[in-house]
A and B are shown apart, each in its own frame.
Chain A
Amino acid sequence: MLTESPFEAGVLGLFVAITIALILLVALRPRMIESTGGRAVIFVALLVLPVLVTALGTSAHLEYATSTTFCLSCHVMEPYGESLLIDSGEHVPAVHVQNALTPRDHACFACHTSYTMFGDLQAKLRGLRHVWVNYLGEVPEKIALYEPYQNRECLSCHRDARSFAENEMHVELEAELDSGETSCLDCHEQIHDVEHLDSLPKWREAAP
């Protein structure tokens, strides 16, 4: 099941079982609407519980959508997942994942927090376009971010880190990094590097 919490799965299962049982009752005995109690049962069965179950299901799906397995379930993303295994101290995503600096099961979302459905309206519309392209269109040979990578993704974790604060270059550029005038990637330029994936050594072959 998508949800990792046994409690959440149990609650959801219980609600679904009750809802299905009540819906069957309504389908088999619609005459119950002629009594006050029956109307209350129908209201719960056909409105309250379905909306509640749908909300819980949506929550589970949205939580799962932040997982690495969700992102890598699309064929086009596979090289990006593989890039997390590059055996190098220079490739930023690989260093973060291999040293557990980001949670491995949410590796993509840790650094791409405003992607598609988690971003603004424009990002959500792009997400719908991705769906269209993935299933019905032609996926471009080279894919790239629509906008420059935002420093805030890095600074949200690194700003308070000792390794960041004691680095002279970081201190000197702090204002420019904050404003986005200078990108973190101007210096830390080795990112996914999927073009050279085949020629780069890997830390291990299994998925991270």
Chain B
Amino acid sequence: MTDSRSSHGGTAASRAMHRALRQAAVMIGLGLVVEMSTLWWAHATAFLVFALVGVALVLGGVTRYLLALLAWPGSPSAGT
């Protein structure tokens, strides 16, 4: 089922959105894998890897997703 938003943005915008979602998903997925793997590593370095790699990837992915939403032609902010 589709709503009116997809038709507003056109095919190019939809493709860009799909690409952004995939990129965000990959970044967040990798970040979560890194975060979880550090939970089995009993060393002070694990916290650094968790914070500097895992959290950074997750936050990067979330930011990618939010920026894509803002740029999407179907979104209220992009339409004004």
Chain A interface residues toward B at CB < 8 A: 1-3, 12, 16, 19-20, 23-24, 26-27, 30-31, 33-36, 42, 45-47, 50-51, 53-54, 57-58, 60-61, 64-65, 69-71, 73-74, 131
Contacts and interface: CB of A to CB of B under 8 A. Distances in A.
Given A34-B3, A34-B14, A64-B42, A50 B47 contact: no
27 contacts: A2-B42, A3-B39, A16-B32, A20-B32, A20-B33, A24-B29, A26-B25, A27-B26, A31-B14, A33-B17, A33-B21, A35-B2, A45-B25, A46-B21, A47-B65, A54-B35, A57-B36, A57-B39, A57-B50, A57-B54, A58-B50, A60-B39, A61-B38, A61-B50, A70-B43, A70-B44, A73-B45
Given A46-B25, A50-B58, A50-B61, A65 B47 contact: yes
A178 B18 CA distance: 63
Contacts of B14: 31, 34
Interface of B: 1-3, 5-6, 14, 17-19, 21-22, 24-26, 28-29, 31-33, 35-36, 38-40, 42-48, 50-51, 54-55, 58, 61-62, 65-66
A51 B62 CA distance: 9
Contacts of A74: 44
Contacts of B28: 23, 46, 50
Contacts of A20: 29, 32-33
B46 A61 contact: yes
Contacts of B38: 57, 61
Given A1-B40, A54-B58, A30 B32 contact: no
Nearest to B42: A69
Contacts of A2: 39-40, 42, 46
B44 A73 contact: yes
A69 B41 CA distance: 12
Given A30-B22, A36-B3, A46 B17 contact: no
